Amino acid sequence: MRRVTRGKRRRVTAAQGKAKGGVKGGAKGGVKGWVAELVRPVGRTVPWWALGAAGAVGLLLVAVARWTGDEPTPWAALLALRGAALAGGLGLASLLDDPARHTTAAVPVPRPARQALRAALVAPLVALWWTAVLFLVPADVRPPAGGITLEAGAVVLLALAAAAAVVRLTDRTRPGRAVATALLIAAVVSPLFVPDSWAVFVQSGDPRWAESHDRWAVALAAAAAVWAASAREPVRRGWGRRRG
At residue 231's C-alpha, the angle toward residues 95 and 200, to 5°, is 70
pLDDT the model gives residue 79: 94
- Summarised one tens digit per residue, pLDDT across range 97-106 is 987 665 655 5
Half-sphere exposure of 141 (CA within 13 A, CB side): 18
| Average pLDDT value for residue range 55-68 | 90
- Summarised one tens digit per residue, pLDDT across range 69-104 is 677 889 999 999 999 999 999 999 999 998 766 565
Residue 159 CA to residue 148 CA, distance in Å, equals 17
* Range from 31-40, 136-145, 221-230, 231-240 carrying the lowest mean pLDDT: 231-240
C-beta of residue 181 within 8 angstroms of C-beta of residue 112 = no
Q: Is the pLDDT of residue 160 over 70?
A: yes
| Average pLDDT value for residue range 152-157 | 97
Q: Is the pLDDT of residue 179 over 90?
A: yes
Percent of the chain with pLDDT over 90: 53
pLDDT band of 5, cuts 50, 70, 90 = very low
